[in-house]
Structure 1
Amino acid sequence: PSLGVKKPTKALLYVILSPVGAYFSSECFNPISLWADPKYVRAWKGGTGDCKLGGNYGSSICAQQEALELGCQQVLWLYGEDHQITEVGTMNLFLYWINEDGENELATPPLDGIILPGVTRQSILDLARNWGEFKVSERYITMNDLTAALEENRVKEMFGAGTACIVCPISKILYKGKQDQLTILHKEDNTGLVSLIP
């Protein structure tokens, strides 16, 4: 016998289907809270932020622990000096709002090399474009954009989407430690956009 790497002579393929419970302790479809602090960066241009690699997750452990200690379920990752919203620890992010031009818009950050190109993300974009009821955009959104929209009551919903968590509403963002707490109202009566997607 010898130790080495070679082409296998046979392989088995397994497909396992299993029901799962709520991804977050807040239970399924209950809104979660996010912690956003620009001192932590998950990915950067020219790196591997758009790939499912172990190295992308190891660096997030300290930030996730800090989020939990502050009472938040996940980290909202920011990028750049203007604090662009990128993604949440386990989800792509969506903002359903009235944009600066007064249009109803579903916006999500673009795939620019620092965001995972999620299957659920693409499915939501395809569904929303097919509905044709509002503008659907892949665009940069900064924390200043979000803060201004919240102050002007232009945010309709904010949610994350991913394979494990499906679609999850967001109700609160703790920004820059304890300085700013942004509250996002969500529809409790299942009439919002989030209720249409699953």
Structure 2
Amino acid sequence: MTGELAKLPDIEPSLVQVTKTDSPKQVPPPSSLVFGHTFTDHMLTVPWQMLEGWGTPKIQPFSNLSLPPSATVFHYAHCLFEGLKAYRDTNGKVTLFRPDMNMKRMNNTAHRVAMPGFNGDAMVELMKQLVRLDKHWIPDQPGYSLYIRPTMIGTQPALGIAPPKEVLLFVICSPVGPYYPQGFKPVALYGTTEYVRAAPGGIGAYKLGANYAAGVAAQKAAAAKGYVQNLWLHGPDHHITEVGTMNAFVVFKQADGTTELVTPPLDGMILPGVTRDSVLTLAKEHAAGHINVPELTNKLVVSERPVTMGEVKEAARKGNLVEFFGTGTAAVISPVDRIGYLGEDVQIPTGPDGMGPVSRPLWKHLTGIQTGAIPHPWAVEV
């Protein structure tokens, strides 16, 4: 059976069937956009069956899905997704930011829950075709983009815990504005010790729907205490893992005068974020002298190492804590100004614009690449 399955068809962009909507929606004014509430005219669907492989890709009018109540996605959480953005520069050129990374992570996630893999390059080509069709939905204003949500769900109409024999891969798009339209607003975090986001050998490193539903109750509890989001702490030493649904970064001032940018290592509990990797790569290249990130200190050390809340609290007490921030596709960088921890608030320094001396130049450089102001191979033209 393994040999037969290996020969089954993969996703083939040249076979795509395009059906344009005959009733296009009016594109709303950018100022009215709420993240994830508005969707473009078209969507992409690709079905899969165990004995037939990947079927015909279709770009069709945005519409509801029709699924049987017995579909595995409803019972066993066979659901995974990705998130990436398309940007339009001042000359009208549209680019995707590092889509290959998203497709690699999506395949890794599918493998974790015994769902089918696919040709990532083929999916990128299909997403390009979808974005070309709906590119007029990208607001022509600074800070705006098109959020792209590839999703894979189990659709087999049968109960029973097993790899689904039928799957649907689909992509929808949503125009979005800047995460902080009034400028950067640092957030307050609650150091969560009552709940566990992930554990070794679990699903913390994968973008599964089940990975997010379990965090909602913890977020509600944090909000009830007056905090915006969780800081997920793990184990008896309260190791920092993630900031809500973002990767966590801490900046320390060391005794030798260097500035250390720290993020926890990818130990199987932490999602390998595309923005995380981008921030690390830019910081490491700057520290090595291969590129120059304007306004970023030359005395920079970049570390992927375990970091505890105790270390952060002690650095704050001694005046050696420079900043704390989260990274993710939606916000890019989200600064933090305080962390509730074991009954007290640990205060985090922030600059006059809400950002810090390391996050600010990295954010400027990264968004410059995303928007086309800084030429870079990470920006893939549509």
Question: CA offsets per residue over residues 58-109 of structure 1, 9 Å max, x none?
Answer: 1111100011112211110011100000011121111111247764200000
In terms of fraction of residues, the more helix-rich structure is 2
Count how many residue pairs are aligned between Structure 1 and Structure 2. Answer: 192
For the pair 1:58 / 2:207, whether they are aligned, the reply is no
2:359 maps to 194
Structure 1 position 43, deviation (Å): 0.2
Structure 1 position 191, deviation (Å): 6.6
Identify if the C-alpha distance between structure 1 residues 138 and 8 changes in structure 2 by more than 3 Å, giving closer, same or farther: closer
Identify if the C-alpha distance between structure 1 residues 191 and 95 changes in structure 2 by more than 3 Å, giving closer, same or farther: closer
Identify if the C-alpha distance between structure 1 residues 196 and 8 changes in structure 2 by more than 3 Å, giving closer, same or farther: same
The structure 1 residue matched to 2:200, chosen from 39, 45, 51, is: 45
TM-score of the superposition, structure 2-length normalised?
A: 0.47
Deviates more, 1:153-162 or 1:15-24: 15-24
2:164 maps to none
The structure 1 residue matched to 2:323, chosen from 119, 134, 157, is: 157
Higher RCO structure, 1 or 2 (CA under 8 Å, sep 6+): 1
Whichever residue aligns with residue 21 of structure 1, its letter is: G
The structure 2 residue matched to 1:174, chosen from 331, 336, 340, is: 340
CA contact (8 A) 2:261 2:303 kept: yes
Whichever residue aligns with residue 128 of structure 1, its letter is: A
2:185 maps to 30
Alignment of 1:1-198 (within 5 A): 5=49, 6-12=52-58, 13=126, 14-15=130-131, 17=138, 18=146, 19-23=175-179, 28-99=183-254, 103-132=258-287, 133=298, 134-176=300-342, 179-189=343-353, 192-198=357-363
2:165 maps to none
% same residue: 42
Question: CA offsets per residue over residues 164-188 of structure 1, 9 Å max, x none?
Answer: 1111110011113xx1111101111
Structure-2 separation of matches of 1:87 and 1:36: 10
TM-score of the superposition, structure 1-length normalised?
A: 0.88
Show structure 2 runs of 5+ residues with no match: 1-47, 59-125, 139-145, 147-174, 288-297, 364-382
CA contact (8 A) 2:259 2:301 kept: yes
Structure 1 position 193, deviation (Å): 1.6
Show structure 1 runs of 5+ residues with no match: none
Whichever residue aligns with residue 71 of structure 1, its letter is: G
* Partner SS for 1:57: helix
Identify if the C-alpha distance between structure 1 residues 186 and 43 changes in structure 2 by more than 3 Å, giving closer, same or farther: same
Structure-2 separation of matches of 1:125 and 1:93: 12
Structure 1 position 21, deviation (Å): 3.0
Whichever residue aligns with residue 57 of structure 2, its letter is: A
CA contact (8 A) 1:29 1:167 kept: no
CA contact (8 A) 2:322 2:356 kept: no
Identify if the C-alpha distance between structure 1 residues 128 and 180 changes in structure 2 by more than 3 Å, giving closer, same or farther: same
Calculate the aligned-residue CA RMSD, in Å: 2.2
Question: CA offsets per residue over residues 12-42 of structure 1, 9 Å max, x none?
Answer: 3323652523547x95521111111211110
Structure-1 separation of matches of 2:341 and 2:262: 20
CA contact (8 A) 2:252 2:320 kept: yes
* Partner SS for 1:197: helix
